[in-house]
Structure 1
Amino acid sequence: MVYIGTHGDRGAHRADVILPGAAFTEKSGIFVNTEGRVQMANRAGFPPGEAREDWAIIRALSDILGKKLPYDSLAALRQAIFKAAPHLMRLDQIEAGNAADIKALAGRGGNPEKAPFVASVEDFYLTNPIARASAVMAECSRLASGKMLTAAE
């Protein structure tokens, strides 16, 4: 098992190889927010030590494994992504839905559950390795859950 990450979080103890990745603040990225708007985030600083951006780690690993991926830079990777998913080029825009796609999904059938929707995240303060490694976020989590420690604890 290979672990690529920043804080040796869940699963790292089972890994055969641990590769130090950059935190989200240390790499640029493209993401789609909950309303479907494509956004770009720029890195705020460089990763420490031997840490690298995830794409660079995977690209180097592909070369070692004899299955070299066809990009050598973030720009080349983005071009490949944009070719496969052109809508990701349209930053800060919401892609219009397609009625035919909805109809195709509906045609697949299925049995929707009757249970009410519930939040899939139980503790928004501890959703990622960086937050889980933070004493401040742990305190926020305790405050939100009503499990604040007393002076005797």
Structure 2
Amino acid sequence: MQTAFIDTPTGIIEIKGSKNGLASIYFCDAENVKVSKEIPDELKAAVTQLQEYFEGKRKEFTLKLLPEGTDFQKKVWRQLETIPFGKTTTYQQMANQLGDPKVIRAAASANGKNPISIIIPCHRVIGSDGSLTGYAGGLHRKKWLLEHESPSMQQSLF
């Protein structure tokens, strides 16, 4: 497993993966984290695509993803990948699309455990009232990402 740290408008991001695919992307808040001087070959495509995303040149990612989680978590993460760039959905809508409105809390929990930030767009899930509910990377980053994707603020799927 290779690791790289890149600087972005939302702070330093840690990227982990191998020749088999991308395992994680996390925001780093530790002050002693240094940006990688050299990017491992296995991570160059991910770094390039993330840079293009932050520059406003990319709306979709074409990377092989290998997130680790339970079957239910992976089902939720696959559902997240269907939310289009510049759109949002709610936790309730996610639960409904998963086939059971009662799984809203489990879907929200799986959303919060997403190991591949930005590329699996968990930031596109908001509260039913339009509020920016929890985000593992911090609400300030969620707000930034949503505004980056749709400067006139979000058009919702609902």
Shorter-chain TM range is: under 0.3
Which structure has more strand as a fraction of its residues?
A: 2
Question: TM-score, with normalisation over the residues of structure 2?
Answer: 0.25
Question: TM-score, with normalisation over the residues of structure 1?
Answer: 0.25
Give the structure, 1 or 2, with the largest relative contact order (CA under 8 Å, sep 6 or more). Answer: 2
